[in-house]
Structures are given as C-alpha cells and as structure tokens.
Amino acid sequence: MAAVSTVLAVCFFGGVNSQTPVQVKSLVDNLLSNYDKRIRPMEDQTLPVTLDVSFSLISLIGVDEVNEKLETSGYLTIRWIDSLLTWDPDSNNGISKIFLPQNDIWKPDIVLGNGIRNFEEFGGSFYNVEVQNVGGVDWKPFQVFETQCSIDTTYFPYDREVCEIVFVVWSYTVSEVEIFKSANGINLNEYTESGVWEITRTDVKVSKESLESKVTFSIHIKRKPFYYLFNIIIPILFLGMLTILVFALPVDAGEKMSYAMTVFLSFAVFLTIINTLLPVSSDTTPVLSRYLLMQMTMSILVLFITALQIRLHHRDTSVPISKPFRFMVRLMHYFHCRKSRKISPAKHKDSEERDNFDSMGETSQEEENRPEWKDVTSAIDFLAFWSFFLLYLSLTVYLFATIIRGS
C-alpha cells in the first residue's frame, strides 16, 4: 500500500520538483518496508562492507597520569554504502538525501577498543544519519572517549606521550566489515588547544594482520613544561640550595640541626607531592623522583655530618685532635689563602693588619698547627659546603641534561 501511495504522490505532483512531507514519507516507508537492520546491506553477502572511518578531535579534556587514562572528546565520521537504501531522485521528486534515526538501519557494531568502561553503542537513539540516494550513509557519533594510555613520566615535565584511541568492529570479522582510512591523521580543525599539552603529531593505522577490523588513531603529545618548572622544579632547586646553607651556619648559632632537619622534611613533603602527580609504577621512575631521592640522601648525609660537627664542637678542649681533622683544617687554610691571594692583592693592607692581629698572640703558623675543635668544625663547614655545592651542581646539571636529552 505504501508503494501505491508513492505512485499516487508522483502522479499528483508530476514534474514539479517541490518535495512535500508526504512524498518524503512515502519514499522512507518504501525504502524501509522490507528492510531488516540485522542484515549487512551488501548485494553480494560474501563481500565485506567497507567503512571509511575518520576522527575529528574536539578537545583533550584531560590526561590522568596517576590512572594512566586519556579523556578526549570528538566525533567519528563513519561512511559506508548501504546498497538497500538507494533510489532514483528523478522519480522521487528530486529527493536526493533523507535523514533517518540511526537505529532504523543497519550499522556496524563499532566500539572503543581500549576504553575503561563497558562498551557503549556510539551515537544515540535521537541521532539521525544522512542517507544519499546512491546509498551513502554518513554517521557522525560524537563521544567522550576515556582510553587507557600508558604514561611514561621518566622525563617529567619534559615528557612526550603517545596515546592511542582504538576502534574495533566487535562481532564482525574482517571478511564481513572492513575498515579503511581516508585521512592520514586525526582531523584537528575543530580542536581547541590545551593549556598543558601540545599535540605534535597524529597518526592513523589500520591493522592488517588480524581478523579483527580495527583502526588505531594515535596522538603524540608533548607536555608544556612551564607550569611544572614554575611550581615544582624551582621550589625543589631552592630547597636544594637550602640544604647546602646548613654549612654556612656556624655551630655556635645553635640552629644548625633543627634547620637541617626542617630542610630534610621539606624534601619528604615534596616527594609526597610529586608522587601524587605521577603514576604508581615500578617499571619506570621519573628522573625527577630520582633527583629528589638523591637530594634527600644528601640531606640525610648533611644531618649526619652536622651531628658529628656539633659533637666535635662541644668536645672538651682537652681531647686531642686526630690527624684527619688536622688535615682538614690545613686544607681550609690553604684554600682560604689561595682565594685571598687570587682575588685580592688589593686587600694586602687588610691581611697585613690581620697579621698584626695574629702576631699579637703566637705566630699564625704555630696556631695552625695547634688548631682547636672550633677550627675543626669551621673546616668541616668549609669543606662540606663546597663539596655539597659541587654535588648539588652536578646533580642538577645531570637532572636537566637527562630530561632534555631524553625528551
């Protein structure tokens, strides 16, 4: 009867090219009257349906480093030929395309392959698909994709990640539904830039080897490091300097130990903060974490040396000074002199004055041979300061070298 009404409609409106709802309805009724959406719409059922899948990224909602998850929003444009939905526009009042609800026709059961939720049907019951008169079907499901993405934070915050978004035709094999790619990457025309990540490259790959119809879109992203430099690296570098400052504090001030302990605890706090930012993984360790642990170890060492220093400082003057300590004192004096000679021949007068001061008592030479415990702690301060300063410098250079080379 639907066919009859179509004929009638054609008769009434004849050559006129205006399309009425009745005419469209009769065309739709006609097309779907014998349609079974369970049957693949190929005239030859031994051939696969060919899907042209392209992906338009709209925004990179977030990268969750801890749970190794990428959240993106975008839409797929899936095109195929439905050989059962063809008509002659000329004999249908010039109607060349119609819109049908997605659930009224056959569509591939394509799903997100590497998601972390149950499979969900793409699109929705209220989505329309566009059908052209030659059978071309255009389906554009918009979706928020939560995909697994292994995050390698070794070179954090200069890390580069590659995240894949995989689409699979779940029940059909490659001999029923075939995917081919029409574009060489992800369509980024509608993409709005993220404040944290820069997209460097995108890729599409249609896998050939397996029986599964699968298309893999990969997004190569690079972290914009400025925020982390500003809020994490700089405070850590500051803390590192503060560690060394312990040796600038004289033992007499009586704050050396508590100061060193405070710096140590600050490192522990920072390690905790860093750990909440990065994934729990025993396979890779961020260079930054390693740097922090070395700094912590350095800080522990500083605490030990400081405790020793304080102990020596409060040692009774009657206790004789052993050889290694004497050597340290001499080393300090040697460096001090070299420095003063190098930098300040102009300070000649000063040093003369000093000599005068010194010569009031015994000769300075003898003085140096019989150092007190106070001089020992001063020597330790001096030597430790410069050794740790060098250590700090080399560790920091190592950090940046590794990170920048690695990324």
Q: 337: which residues sit within 8 A by CB, 6+ positions away?
A: none
Q: How far is the CB of 390 from its own copies (least distance, A)?
A: 18
Piece of the chain touching its own copies by CB under 8 A; list 48-56, 200-208, 357-365, 392-400? 357-365
- If the CB atoms of residues 229 and 397 are measured against its own copies, the closer one turns out to be 229
Q: What distance separates the 2 farthest-apart alpha carbons in the chain?
A: 130
Cα 170 to Cα 348: distance, rounded to the nearest angstrom: 87
- If the CB atoms of residues 166 and 391 are measured against its own copies, the closer one turns out to be 166
Piece of the chain touching its own copies by CB under 8 A; list 110-118, 180-188, 200-208, 394-402? 110-118
Total Cβ atoms within 10 A of residue 31: 20
Q: How far is the CB of 186 from its own copies (least distance, A)?
A: 18
Indicate which single residue of 319, 324, 342, 366 sits in contact with its own copies (rule: CB under 8 A): 319
Please tell me whether residue 67 binds its own copies under the rule CB under 8 A.
Answer: yes
Cα 135 to Cα 130: distance, rounded to the nearest angstrom: 10
Piece of the chain touching its own copies by CB under 8 A; list 49-57, 200-208, 252-260, 388-396? 252-260
Q: How far is the CB of 138 from its own copies (least distance, A)?
A: 8
Cα 266 to Cα 268: distance, rounded to the nearest angstrom: 5
Instruction: State the binding string over 149-178 for its own copies (x if CB under 8 A, else -).
Output: -x-------------------xxx---x--
CB 219 within 8 A of CB 162: yes
Cα 211 to Cα 351: distance, rounded to the nearest angstrom: 87
- If the CB atoms of residues 65 and 186 are measured against its own copies, the closer one turns out to be 65
Indicate which single residue of 283, 345, 366, 405 sits in contact with its own copies (rule: CB under 8 A): 283
Cα 168 to Cα 111: distance, rounded to the nearest angstrom: 5
Please tell me whether residue 29 binds its own copies under the rule CB under 8 A.
Answer: yes
Total Cβ atoms within 10 A of residue 221: 22
Question: Which is it for the CA torsion 273, 275, 278, 284, positive or negative?
Answer: positive
Please tell me whether residue 61 binds its own copies under the rule CB under 8 A.
Answer: yes
Question: Which is it for the CA torsion 283, 151, 156, 262, positive or negative?
Answer: negative
Q: How far is the CB of 102 from its own copies (least distance, A)?
A: 9
Please tell me whether residue 300 binds its own copies under the rule CB under 8 A.
Answer: yes
Please tell me whether residue 322 binds its own copies under the rule CB under 8 A.
Answer: yes
Total chain residues near its own copies (CB under 8 A): 132
Q: 234-245 and 256-277 are packed helices; what angle lies between their axes, rounded to 10 degrees?
A: 160
Indicate which single residue of 78, 95, 186, 219 sits in contact with its own copies (rule: CB under 8 A): 95
CB 307 within 8 A of CB 257: yes
